[in-house]
């Protein structure tokens, strides 16, 4: 199960990197917001402990 979850995380990162490279190579701006930033804004209570 660990290997499956790790593969899901790494695979998604690979696709984001590929999309970012395509945008940059075509002179387009890459998104400045990330999923992590979204989570920090959407669920700030999760960071408070």
**Positive or negative: CA dihedral 16, 20, 21, 23:** positive
The torsion angles phi and psi of 31, rounded to 5 degrees, stand at -60, 135
Instruction: Give residue 8's pLDDT.
Output: 85
Domain of 15 in residue numbering reads as: 2-47
Per the structure, the count of domains in the chain is 1
| Per-residue pLDDT at 49 exceeds 70 | no
| Per-residue pLDDT at 34 exceeds 80 | no
Tokens coding 34: 């990330």
Overall pTM > 0.85: no
Angle made by CA atoms 12, 17, 22, in degrees to the nearest 5:
125
């Amino acid at each position: 199960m660990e290997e499956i979850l790790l593969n899901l995380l790494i695979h998604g990162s690979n696709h984001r990197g590929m999309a970012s490279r395509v945008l940059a190579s075509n002179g387009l701006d890459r998104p400045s917001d990330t999923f992590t930033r979204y989570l920090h804004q959407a669920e700030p209570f999760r960071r408070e402990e």
